[in-house]
Amino acid sequence: MYLKKAMWSEGISAAEKDSTESESDPPSTEVKDLVNVLTQQRVYREVTLALRSGLRDARAEFSFLRVRGLTRLLKFLRSVAQSDLTINLFSQTQSISELQVVPVLFQHSLNESEDEIVSTLDHIFDVEPMKITSPSTDSEVSLALRVLEGCCLLHKDSTTLAHHYKAIQVLMTILSTRGVLEQGACLDALISIMLESSANQMDFEACNGIEEVAELIIDKQVDENLRLKCGEFLLLLIGHVNGRGRPPLASIQEDIRRLLGENSASLIWAASQFGSTLDPEQRLTALHIQARRVLESLDLY
């Protein structure tokens, strides 16, 4: 979604410039308010149009169409994140059931495909053709997880929607069964859906999420980039999601100490306190550096 400057906005700007040069009165407050209202209505129409277009393909029966829709939705969310106005408008759309993104993700791209067992031959002789939906590909699952992450970061109530669809259980299954591409996206999505969501945090603890992540980071046969991503996940989990020792993940530090050892647990706790005064780019760099140190501390033993 690329927003163009409205024609009436240009007219007002030109009028303000002319009035300044001629020392006459600038446009009234009422006119400026009207321009703001018209601009907001135009942006809202563009937001809803972009959502409808992306969601239509994301609901398709074929994976290549769903991938196209998810790609559009991901680009749309990145565009939305650039402005407080568009973030607010996106949040408003998520109260409308037909424009909600999270349910579509779990119903079409993140659902577990089960082999259909044919018990009767009635569908062969039926007039209506049997509906066939292609399974989700690796790239589709990865894109869906990125879209889920964006929705939860931009719209807090999306974490509640995700909990309704048992998001933690679904993501933990992906983490233990899918490839490196999906596992990396899964770890990022887990952080986003657990932020300020006690229900999702409790589900993560019930699914023994720490044990699953610990197994990946300990295993030296696992792709190194994925192990680094696990290190970043633990740092973010301790420093931001956990709420600094408050329930429901109050025992997380003890769990990490039990699974990874005292030295690594102490390093993770100390390193997780970074970044409060850093800008986003510096914070990301610091996260990568600290994750590398965590990995090195594990490889020493």
Domains in the chain, ordered, with CATH? 32-111+137-205 (1.25.10.10), 208-300 (no CATH)
The pLDDT tens digits along the chain (301 residues) read: 444 544 434 443 444 455 455 555 556 787 777 777 788 888 889 999 999 999 999 999 999 999 999 999 999 999 999 989 899 999 999 999 999 999 999 999 998 755 444 445 555 555 565 567 789 999 999 999 999 999 999 999 999 999 999 999 999 999 999 999 999 999 999 999 998 899 999 999 999 999 999 999 999 999 999 999 999 999 998 877 655 445 566 678 888 889 888 888 888 888 776 655 567 778 888 889 999 998 988 876 5
The pLDDT score that the predictor gives to residue 94 is 95
The pLDDT score that the predictor gives to residue 9 is 42
The pLDDT score that the predictor gives to residue 115 is 41
- Model-wide pTM > 0.85: no
The pLDDT score that the predictor gives to residue 143 is 97
- Using CA atoms, how far apart are residues 271 and 294, in angstroms rounded to an integer? 9
